[in-house]
Amino acid sequence: MGTVAGANTRRYHGLLVAPWGEGGERHVLLPRVEEEIYLGGRWVELGACQYPGLVTPRGFEFLAAFAAEPEPFWTWEIEGVRVTRRLSLLRQPAGVRLTYQASVDCPLRVRLFTATRGYHALGTGPETPLRFAMPGAVWQPVNDWYRNVEYLEELDRGFPFREDLWCPGTFTGSANTEFTASLGEPGEPATRTGAAVFLCRKPDRLTLLAGYPWFTDWGRDTLIALPGLLLETGQPGAAREILAGLLARRQNGLLPNLFVDRGGEPEYNTIDATLWAFEAAHHLAGAGEREWVHTGFYPIGVEILAAHQRGTLFGIGMDPADGLLRGGEETTQLTWMDARSQGRPVTPRHGKPVEINALWYNALRLMAGWAGELGDAARQMQYAALADWVARSFAATYWNPAAGCLFDLPGCAQIRPNQIFAAALTHPLLDPARRRALLETVRRHLVTPYGLRSLAPADPAYQGRYEGGPAERDARYHQGTVWPWLAAPFALAWAREFGEPFPFPALEQELAQGCLGHVAEIYDGDTPHERRGAPAQAWSLAALLTLRRLRPLPPAS
């Protein structure tokens, strides 16, 4: 991951960032190279790097064209000579190949810059695990430091932003050649684009990374993104394998919340990830995997529902007074609005969050349906009766007549987007009139061209810009920022109630801006809605792929 110009702006940027060392954490191994072409009796530099107060070299001034797909491809033009570079990733072992071509035969010099550091870190020693090759070229050792390389995006984010990079040497050879750097003998090409970049084969499982460049895999993000990223792209087998892997790691009826890069046991502090598995299984069944849902998912679903009824970790369990699901306490954050500041949740949502009970109801209805398909009459009746009870309690607990929408928590009148799931899941709640009312309220207060705000602008806690240092950003993360992943369920719910999917055309345009081919994690709540957070987020792209499929529907009656 990097920039078209060639100057890295984040500590995460590099030509080769790959798992390495104990635990398999991602490491920045080859931050960059700098090319020079010899023309007209002089060396012309094609690279770029930010140092204090200046950018040097400035090869982007010769950049004539760039294409991101099917593989990154640069074209420079210098005094009528065209030089191109194609980047291919390699696998087994991890590596990178740069293929150069020039319109005239001339010398090319490639200067290497190495690092061996975790992708969150800065600073490294001169040792490298990489092997380098450039056929027919002459190797010239340099063995020197390039000091004070700057990453200005990290400066803006309030993090350390300066490091020294080690230059082991240069290769000099023909401009029509290949350069490779790898963790062993170069493997086969594995360049991926679009949705495929999030699909990751780890030693023990197949998974979806939540985003680039810093996210690992999260259970919630994986299950929300899975239908859009994998089913919309015709990969039900991969989706089934991922869901089966999560189910295999369940603990006390809960699926993992977070897998850490360094290995070790996953974390389970989530009330919603497990419930999203039922919706994912429903989409899998519709993609030709109904038999697996019956045999592989349903029995585990029975176990999960039983655990939630009797109570499990983090205080998660069904309230015997009303059938609604509750969980957490003042110091825990179990929903997707999980930011913390000074050791406490920024948006406390312990108790009975509205979307959790929409998901709980949906899971019960889905399980009742599968029980009926399997001839499990006793459980079909049990789950249907419980779902009826939850529906009655939901309507009595969450409807806010003053605002014409749903409370975010019982009695909490903040207008937040979590309520849309009462209308967006496979089995919606409420009567059509109330569903239309809540969608209209959300449209007026939360909808933007890029998705839904996490809080209405009129709320005193609203923060319209996601900026500042880490603590300031954490305090703003769910207090007005726009989340693209919410666009798809809102558009689906709107189509159900009003016949036409709600349009979000700006998301399609994002593919040609920012991180090319991707949609960012979040955007400012205030115009002009600057992109923020991770520049490539799995569930954001999944939302766009889902939106492409939506078609007009008959309005709900």
What digits encode the pLDDT tens for the residues 490-504? 999 999 999 999 999
Q: How far apart (Å, rounded) are the C-alpha atoms in residues 324 and 410?
A: 11
What digits encode the pLDDT tens for the residues 290-328? 999 999 999 999 999 999 999 999 999 999 999 999 999
**Nearest C-alpha neighbor of 540 from the set 482, 470, 464:** 482
Please give the pLDDT value at position 556.
52
Q: How confident is the model at residue 551 (pLDDT cuts 50, 70, 90)?
A: low
Q: How far apart (Å, rounded) are the C-alpha atoms in residues 283 and 473?
A: 35
Residue 88 near residue 99, CB atoms below 8 Å: yes
Please give the pLDDT value at position 260.
82
Has residue 263 got a pLDDT over 80?
Answer: no
Please give the pLDDT value at position 553.
54
Q: Let me know if 433 is exposed, middle or buried by CB neighbors in 10 A (0-12, 13-18, 19+).
A: exposed
What digits encode the pLDDT tens for the residues 409-426? 999 999 999 999 999 999
The DSSP line for 45-104 is E--EEEETTEEEEEGGGGEEEEE-SSS-EEEEEETTEEEEEEEEEEETTTEEEEEEEESS
Q: How confident is the model at residue 233 (pLDDT cuts 50, 70, 90)?
A: very high
Q: How far apart (Å, rounded) are the C-alpha atoms in residues 263 and 268?
A: 15
Has residue 166 got a pLDDT over 90?
Answer: yes
**Nearest C-alpha neighbor of 465 from the set 452, 456, 454, 476:** 476
Task: Please state whether 123 falls in left (phi above 0), alpha (psi between -120 and 50) or beta.
Answer: left
**Nearest C-alpha neighbor of 243 from the set 260, 230, 252:** 230
Please give the pLDDT value at position 359.
98
Q: Let me know if 525 is exposed, middle or buried by CB neighbors in 10 A (0-12, 13-18, 19+).
A: buried
Q: How confident is the model at residue 261 (pLDDT cuts 50, 70, 90)?
A: confident
Has residue 20 got a pLDDT over 90?
Answer: no
Please give the pLDDT value at position 332.
93
Has residue 540 got a pLDDT over 90?
Answer: yes
Has residue 554 got a pLDDT over 60?
Answer: no
Mean pLDDT estimate for the chain: 94
Please give the pLDDT value at position 557.
46
Q: How confident is the model at residue 203 (pLDDT cuts 50, 70, 90)?
A: confident
Write out the two tokens for 104.
């005239």
Mean pLDDT of 150-174: 95
Q: How confident is the model at residue 552 (pLDDT cuts 50, 70, 90)?
A: low
Helix (H) or strand (E) holding 221: helix 219-226
Helix (H) or strand (E) holding 247: helix 236-248
Q: How far apart (Å, rounded) are the C-alpha atoms in residues 110 and 136?
A: 13
Better pLDDT: 38 or 196: 38
Mean pLDDT of 357-368: 98
**Angle 47-49-51 from CA coordinates, rounded to 5°:** 155
Please give the pLDDT value at position 140.
97
Q: How far apart (Å, rounded) are the C-alpha atoms in residues 321 and 323?
A: 6
**Nearest C-alpha neighbor of 229 from the set 553, 554, 546:** 546
For the chain, what percent of residues have pLDDT higher than 70? 98
Mean pLDDT of 453-462: 98
Half-sphere exposure of 90 (CA within 13 A, CB side): 21
Residue appearing with tokens 């029980």: 371
Q: How far apart (Å, rounded) are the C-alpha atoms in residues 108 and 122?
A: 30
In the chain, where the domains are located: 16-189, 319-445
Has residue 32 got a pLDDT over 70?
Answer: yes
Residue appearing with tokens 């065209």: 82
Strands (E), 379-523: 399-400, 405-406, 447-448, 451-453, 482-483, 522-523
Q: How far apart (Å, rounded) are the C-alpha atoms in residues 60 and 63?
A: 5
What digits encode the pLDDT tens for the residues 237-252? 999 999 999 999 999 9
Please, which residues bridge with residue 483 across strands? Answer: 452
Lowest pLDDT segment from 24-28, 246-250, 377-381: 24-28
Sign of the torsion angle spanned by Cα atoms 19, 23, 28, 30: negative
Residue appearing with tokens 């309005």: 555
For the chain, what percent of residues have pLDDT higher than 90? 87
Q: How far apart (Å, rounded) are the C-alpha atoms in residues 344 and 347?
A: 9
